[in-house]
């Protein structure tokens, strides 16, 4: 099904680790999304899916490239006139990429993660002829009806993707895709183990780049990249430094600028985070026996992470954050939110109150994917870290 | 329509009775707060009053509480208090005003608001979910989300019999049954199916009449102002849904509007321009906002607010009392979906409305507080302009926060809009006489 005979991301291959990681960073930092263009030039089709969670296996099973639409550090010159003022940047820059033709899609899917994003499929649909769909992931996962519902919703999405791709998606196709994605999730768990257990072996921005590539290259290629680079990272002989271990919270949708992550890594060890949490949403292998869509639906509801945009009575966000901090043996948290991100900003209040109760140090901040000056933020963060180190 | 009333008593009756009912409603809530009685916190899009009233639970609409602080010009005090507590200036003003009401133990300009015994919400607005999480943390009382899947793609609606529709309907029905179980647990009362049918019957009357009231405003001159009068009607449609008082009110409102239509009685404003309103009203300067238009002899003849903020009951969906629960599930699905469509896909409906209501222009009023309503309006306006060429005005402000409302700037833009309309009309007239 894969139309590619050559990989879409070849630059990292056959290079020493540091150079390979540099290529990863360059590819992720670039707003050109070359890998998506290469895929299309080879005759492949692309399904863009907006943050946060999407069952990419369905698109993969049809031989299409699932592309995570996550905005980019570009000026929304064309998109600006399609939106009002008080909005986060990721909405505008995501549409900008499509309006510019920088990223060409064959279908677009969003999920009503927030009040702003739930408008996106309608806006996209008024500007492009291809199908622009909303996938309604259950907002009442505590209902006994949610599993049946989600299985059906995934089946509905299968039919849409089949129509776009012009090919049938069999259960076996889905099972094969689940295997590929299980392997990917296992490798990402390994990446995060390294971050947690030996954070001195990998810079925060390198770990981020390796993660983010998942959304812009075929998963088989991503698996190959991780399988090659993770053992090399483990073999590094870098010595640990006396740095604060922190958890970064607030990267579930709009992404902080690369330089901000780099800056965080200079001042501390980022031992866990929620960057692009959709790639790590499912926390365990999805069974490959039985009905594949039901298995995917069950994994979404029963074996999954958390974010401010999913309501689940079993997963109070502040308790989940405290677990994340404790499991990562972190000493502090960065509670960030993208500017104008309502769910993120609302969650900050609950987080700060809960961390106060637990006597866990935190640093509250806002960011925007387009911001380019960090000197003041870096100064504040350094002061925060020094306070913790020398208190 | 059995009321015998003279013309003098009829005209304006809906406004007077609606305002009185609301004062009584707040008084009743104050009584609940004083006595420590039970109540349910709900929202306007999918209140599930049909179930809650079956258990005789008083309902609190925090959205209405919040907008009342703005109408009474004290919203800024509440907003600042919530911001001091930690909430960002960039989040919904309704949420923040309510947080302050809760921090003040229910103290509100209309009386005292009781705390929630149970919270019921839908996903029609994501902020509902985040908002309810605040009460969960504050009170630890049960929260129930009715997840109502909306339209998946513009123009691709499904209906009864379609497998996708049936899957959605089944999901909603399962959740409604679970809500009933929770209400039984919370109230200690058994669900009474006969009482439920009675409540649904009242809700049917209200939906039918609400649909009729909106339709009657096609009349020229229009019968009521969709922004000012309409908000009063809307309050009753939400607060009294599924009650005998609500049903009676709407029957009498239809009577009033039919009388006005029959006798050509319009609004007090001379109707030179007929406008559609898209968005949420500017509550901090509620009357003044309307005057900026009425000064130009313009009237609002319909509004998307009257659709989505009534939870889509403008569709007039009527429940089948022989199969009440399945029918409630279908009605909720169809109506709440319609409410969402009124926000996300409104330009197609507006096209029809421009014709049906002989509209001369469309006023878009996106607000900082509400991204659900506002995010797509600029793009929707572009689309509508391409499709129809109808003149429109895009003014951004807020429904709560007077810090982002500039009356002078607003007036300049509104005046410029009407100057454009006048010029256009003169040109059309000149063209017609050539």
Contact by Cβ (8 Å): A109, A49: yes
User: Which pLDDT does position A2 carry in this prediction?
Assistant: 55
Q: What does each of the 391 residues of chain A score in pLDDT, given as a tens digit?
A: 455 568 999 999 999 999 999 999 999 999 999 999 999 999 999 999 999 999 999 999 999 999 999 999 999 999 999 998 899 999 999 999 999 999 999 999 999 999 999 999 999 999 999 999 999 999 999 999 999 999 999 999 999 999 999 999 999 999 999 999 999 999 999 999 999 999 999 999 999 999 999 999 999 999 999 999 999 999 999 999 999 999 999 999 999 999 999 999 998 999 999 999 999 999 999 999 999 999 999 999 999 999 999 999 999 999 999 999 999 999 999 999 999 999 999 999 999 999 999 999 999 999 999 998 888 888 898 899 988 988 7
pLDDT at position A4, please?
56
Mutate to test the interface with A, among B171, B382, B386, B403 (most CBs of A within 10 A): B171
Q: What local confidence, expressed as pLDDT, does residue A1 receive?
A: 45
**Residue partners of A301: CB distance under 8 A and separation at least 6:** A138, A141, A146, A147, A150
> Residue A242 burial (CB < 10 Å; 0-12/13-18/19+)?
exposed
What are φ and ψ of residue B371, in 5° steps?
-80, -25
- Residues in chain A with CB shorter than 8 Å from the CB of B339 are none
d(CA A121, CA B345): 10
Model confidence at B240, in pLDDT bands (50, 70, 90)? very high
CB neighbour list of residue A131: distance below 8 Å, 6 or more residues apart: A107, A108, A160, A163, A164, B153
CA distances from residue B346 to A129, B39, B125, B168, B367 in whole angstroms, order as listed: 18, 34, 16, 22, 16
**CA distances (Å), origin B165, targets A84, A164, B150:** 33, 21, 10
Q: Inform me whether the C-beta atom of residue A62 falls under 8 Å from chain B C-beta atoms.
A: no
Query: Which of A123, A140, A148, A368 to mutate: most B Cβ within 10 Å?
Result: A140
Query: Could you say which residues from 272 to 291 on chain A have a Cβ atom under 8 Å away from some Cβ of chain B?
Result: none
Average of per-residue pLDDT across B157-174: 97
| Confidence band for B417, pLDDT divided at 50, 70 and 90 | very high
Average confidence (pLDDT) over B364-374: 95
Please report the pLDDT score of residue B428 as a whole number: 86
Which strands sit side by side in the sheet containing B392-394, from one edge to the other? Answer: B298-303, B273-279, B361-365, B392-394
Closest alpha carbon to B41 in B118, B95, B98, B145: B118
Q: What is the structure's pLDDT at B5? A: 56
Answer whether B87's CB lies under 8 Å from A349's CB. yes
**Paired residues of A304 in beta bridges:** A282
Cα–Cα distances in angstroms (integers) from residue B182 to residues A139, B55, B177, B185, in the given order:
18, 11, 9, 5
Distances (CA, A) of B88 to A123, B96, B360, B366: 27, 9, 39, 19
| pLDDT (0 to 100) of residue A194 | 98
Chain A residues in contact with B173 by the CB 8 A cut-off are 145
Please state the rounded mean pLDDT for residues B393-397.
96
B247-297 residue pLDDT tens = 999 999 999 999 999 999 998 778 999 999 999 999 999 999 999 999 999
pLDDT of A375 = 83
pLDDT band with cut points at 50, 70 and 90 for residue B431: confident
Give pLDDT, residue A253. 98
| pLDDT tens-place string over residues B314-345 | 999 999 999 999 999 999 999 999 999 999 99
Sequence-ordered strand ranges (E) for A211-279: 244-249, 268-273
| Closest by Cα among A259, A173, A167, A255 to A211 | A255
Nearest to A82 among B88, B149, B382 (CB): B382
Domain range list for chain B: 7-433
Please tell me which residue of chain B has the smallest CA distance to A159.
B164
Alpha-carbon span B53 to A31, nearest angstrom: 54
Whether residue B314 contacts residue B306, with contact meaning beta carbons closer than 8 Å, is answered with yes
Distances (CA, A) of B140 to A323, B116, B135: 21, 10, 7
Q: Do B86 and A119 touch (CB under 8 A)?
A: no
As to burial, measured by CB atoms within 10 angstroms (0-12 exposed, 13-18 middle, 19+ buried), residue B322 is exposed
CB A109 within 8 A of CB A133: yes
Which chain B residues are Cβ-neighbours of A121 within 8 angstroms? 153, 344
Mean pLDDT of B142-146: 97
Nearest by CB: B375 against A115, A308, A337: A115
DSSP-H helix ranges across A235-307: 258-267, 292-302
Q: Tell me the helix, strand and coil percentages in chain B, rounded to 5.
A: 60, 10, 30
CA of A385 vs chain B CAs: smallest distance (Å): 22
CB contact under 8 A, B371 and A134: no
Question: Picking from A374-383, B57-66, B192-201, which range would have the lowest pLDDT averaged per residue?
Answer: A374-383
Chain A residue numbers touching B143 (CB-CB < 8 A): 313
B378 touches A at CB < 8 Å: yes
Describe the strand order of the beta sheet including A244-249 as a list of residue ranges. Answer: A268-273, A244-249, A332-338, A361-367
B145 touches chain A (CB under 8 A): yes
DSSP state of A358: H
Q: Which chain B residue is nearest to residue A114, measuring alpha carbons? A: B126
| CB-based contacts of B185, cutoff 8 Å, min separation 6 | none
Residues 281-310 of B with CB under 8 A from A: none
Cross-chain CB nearest to A114 (options B126, B132, B174): B126
B371 lies within 8 A of chain A by CB: yes
**Which of B90, B345, B366 is facing A122, going by the closest CB pair?**
B345
Full-model pTM: 0.96
Q: Confirm if A142 and A313 have CB atoms less than 8 A apart.
A: yes
- Strand segments (E) across B246-352: 273-279, 298-303
Mean pLDDT to the nearest integer, B108-120: 97
Please give the Cα distance from B264 to A315 (Å, whole number).
Answer: 58
Say if the Cβ atoms of A145 and B126 lie within 8 Å.
no
3-state SS class at A245: strand
Test the A interface: residue of B43, B46, B88 with most A CBs within 10 Å: B88
Q: Are A249 and A336 contacting, i.e. CB atoms less than 8 angstroms apart? A: yes
Say yes or no: B105 contacts chain A, CB-CB below 8 A: no
């Amino acid at each position: 099904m894969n139309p590619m005979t050559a990989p879409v991301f070849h630059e990292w291959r056959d290079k020493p680790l540091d150079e390979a990681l540099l290529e990863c960073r360059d590819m992720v930092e670039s707003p050109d999304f070359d890998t998506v263009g290469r895929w299309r030039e080879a005759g492949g089709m692309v399904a863009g899916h907006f943050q946060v969670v999407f069952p990419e296996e369905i698109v993969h099973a049809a031989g299409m490239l699932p592309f995570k639409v996550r905005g980019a550090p570009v000026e929304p010159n064309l998109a600006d006139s399609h939106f009002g003022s008080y909005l986060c940047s990721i909405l505008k820059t995501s549409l900008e990429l499509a309006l510019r033709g920088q990223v060409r899609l064959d279908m677009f899917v969003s999920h009503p993660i927030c009040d702003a994003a739930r408008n996106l499929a309608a806006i996209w649909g008024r500007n492009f002829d291809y199908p622009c769909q909303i996938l309604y992931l259950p907002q009442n996962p505590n209902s006994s009806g949610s599993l049946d519902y989600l299985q059906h919703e995934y089946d509905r999405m299968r039919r849409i993707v089949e129509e776009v791709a012009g090919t049938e998606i069999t259960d076996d196709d889905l099972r094969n895709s689940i295997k590929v994605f299980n392997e990917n999730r296992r490798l990402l768990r390994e990446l995060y183990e390294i971050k947690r257990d030996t954070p001195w072996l990998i810079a925060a921005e390198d770990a981020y780049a390796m993660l983010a590539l998942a959304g812009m290259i075929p998963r088989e290629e991503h698996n190959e990249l991780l399988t090659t680079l993770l053992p090399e990272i483990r073999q590094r002989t870098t010595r640990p430094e006396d740095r604060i271990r922190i958890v970064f919270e607030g990267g579930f949708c709009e992404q902080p600028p690369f330089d901000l992550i780099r800056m965080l890594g200079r001042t501390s060890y980022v031992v866990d985070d929620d960057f692009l949490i959709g790639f790590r949403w499912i926390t365990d292998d999805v069974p490959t026996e039985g009905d594949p869509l039901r298995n995917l639906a069950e994994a979404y509801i029963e074996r999954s992470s958390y974010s401010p945009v999913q309501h689940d009575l079993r997963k109070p966000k502040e308790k989940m954050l405290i677990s994340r901090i404790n499991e990562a043996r972190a000493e502090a948290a960065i509670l960030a939110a993208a500017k104008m991100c309502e769910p993120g900003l609302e969650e900050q209040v609950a987080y700060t109150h809960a961390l106060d109760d637990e006597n866990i140090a935190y640093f509250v901040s806002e960011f925007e994917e387009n911001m380019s000056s960090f000197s003041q933020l870096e100064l504040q963060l350094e002061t925060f870290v020094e306070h913790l180190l020398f208190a | 329509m059995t009321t015998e009333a003279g013309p003098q008593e009829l005209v304006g009756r809906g406004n007077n009775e609606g305002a009185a009912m609301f004062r009584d409603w707040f008084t009743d809530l104050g009584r609940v707060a004083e006595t420590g009685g039970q109540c349910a916190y709900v929202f306007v899009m999918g209140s599930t009053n049909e179930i809650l009233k079956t258990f005789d639970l008083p309902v609190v609409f925090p959205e209405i509480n919040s907008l009342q602080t703005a109408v009474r010009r004290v919203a800024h005090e509440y907003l600042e208090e919530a911001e001091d507590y930690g909430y960002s200036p960039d989040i919904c003003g309704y949420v923040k005003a309510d947080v302050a009401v809760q921090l003040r133990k229910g103290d509100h300009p209309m009386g005292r608001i009781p705390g929630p015994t149970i919270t019921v919400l839908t996903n029609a607005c994501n902020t509902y979910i985040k908002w309810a999480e605040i009460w969960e943390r504050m009170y630890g009382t049960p929260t129930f989300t009715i997840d109502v899947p909306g339209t998946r793609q513009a123009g691709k609606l499904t209906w009864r019999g379609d497998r996708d529709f049936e899957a959605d309907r089944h999901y909603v029905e399962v959740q409604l049954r679970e809500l009933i179980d929770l209400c039984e647990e919370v109230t200690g009362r058994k669900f009474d199916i006969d009482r439920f049918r009675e409540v649904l019957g009242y809700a049917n009357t209200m939906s039918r009449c609400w649909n009729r009231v909106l339709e009657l405003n096609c009349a020229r001159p229009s019968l009521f102002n969709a922004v000012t009068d309409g908000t009063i009607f809307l309050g009753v449609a939400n607060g009294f849904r599924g009650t005998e008082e609500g049903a009676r009110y709407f029957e009498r409102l239809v009577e009033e509007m039919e009388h006005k239509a029959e006798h050509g009685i319009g609004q007090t404003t001379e109707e030179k321009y007929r406008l559609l309103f898209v968005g949420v009203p500017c509550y901090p300067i509620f009357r003044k906002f309307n005057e900026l238009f009425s000064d130009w002899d313009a009237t609002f003849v319909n509004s998307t607010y009257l659709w989505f903020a009534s939870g889509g009951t403008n569709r007039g969906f009527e429940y089948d009392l022989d199969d009440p629960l399945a029918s409630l599930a279908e009605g909720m699905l169809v109506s709440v979906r319609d409410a969402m469509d009124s926000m996300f896909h409104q330009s197609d409906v507006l096209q029809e409305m421009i014709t049906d209501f002989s509209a001369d222009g469309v006023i878009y009023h996106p607000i900082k507080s509400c991204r659900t309503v506002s995010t797509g309006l600029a793009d929707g306006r572009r689309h509508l302009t391409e499709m129809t060429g109808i003149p429109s005005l895009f003014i951004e402000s807020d429904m709560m926060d007077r810090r982002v409302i500039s009356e002078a700037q607003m007036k300049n833009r509104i005046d410029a809009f009407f100057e454009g309309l006048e010029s256009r009309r003169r040109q059309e007239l000149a063209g017609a006489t050539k």
